């Protein structure tokens, strides 16, 4: 069983990471087979054409796919993104976006997840998928937490 205290502290750690802060991405929830991230558009997200830069969608989809598979992996496993496919479907200039990541398949060495970026009103802005490599002892959450001098509660509760 997934430890709710682990998830709570993990979300704090993720949200304090440099890239999430750079893009103002906010991890809201992580669970078995899913995650959700929020982003409020700011000036820094705009292209020279004053609409969202497509790379913002790519970053959101990559992050959501990654965290959608995290909860089902052994604690000593890490993940490395192999590829991200993004379909930009609509552009916005302001507002709030949500990305929902969903696990499609967890394998011994390869995982597949998808994500969808939407507005508050449900307009689909982008959709994509990511293939992730499962690693043993490489890029684990424990390694990430040590870099940040944070001790996370155990990932799973037994009993």
Q: Is residue 157 part of a domain?
A: no
Specify whether the CB–CB gap between 11 and 27 falls below 8 A. yes
Angle at 44 between CA 93 and CA 90, to 5 degrees: 30
CATH number of residue 102's parent domain: 3.10.129.10
69 in Cβ contact with 79 (< 8 Å):
yes
Average pLDDT in the chain: 96
Q: With bands split at pLDDT 50, 70 and 90, how would you rate the model's confidence at 135? A: very high
Q: Please count the structural domains in the chain.
A: 1
Mean pLDDT of 11-25: 97
Number of CB atoms found within 10 A of residue 157's CB:
12
- Is residue 122 left, alpha or beta, with left meaning phi > 0 and alpha meaning psi from -120 to 50? left
49 found inside a domain? yes
The reported pTM is 0.95
Q: Is residue 86 part of a domain?
A: yes
- Domain of 80 in residue numbering reads as 4-146
Mean pLDDT over residues 32-41, rounded? 98
């Amino acid at each position: 069983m997934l430890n709710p205290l682990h998830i709570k502290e993990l979300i704090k750690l993720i949200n304090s990471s440099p890239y999430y802060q750079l893009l103002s991405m906010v991890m809201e929830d992580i669970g078995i087979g899913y995650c959700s991230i929020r982003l409020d558009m700011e000036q820094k997200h705009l292209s020279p054409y004053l609409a969202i830069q497509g790379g913002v969608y790519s970053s959101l989809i990559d992050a959501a796919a990654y965290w959608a598979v995290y909860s089902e992996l052994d604690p000593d496993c890490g993940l490395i993104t192999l590829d991200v496919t993004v379909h930009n479907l609509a552009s916005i200039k302001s507002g709030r976006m949500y990305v929902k990541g969903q696990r499609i398949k967890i394998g011994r060495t390869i995982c597949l997840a998808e994500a969808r970026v939407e507005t508050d009103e449900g307009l689909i802005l982008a959709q994509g998928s990511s293939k992730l490599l499962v690693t043993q002892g490489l890029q684990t959450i424990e390694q990430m937490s040590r870099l940040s001098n944070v001790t996370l509660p155990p990932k799973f509760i037994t009993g």
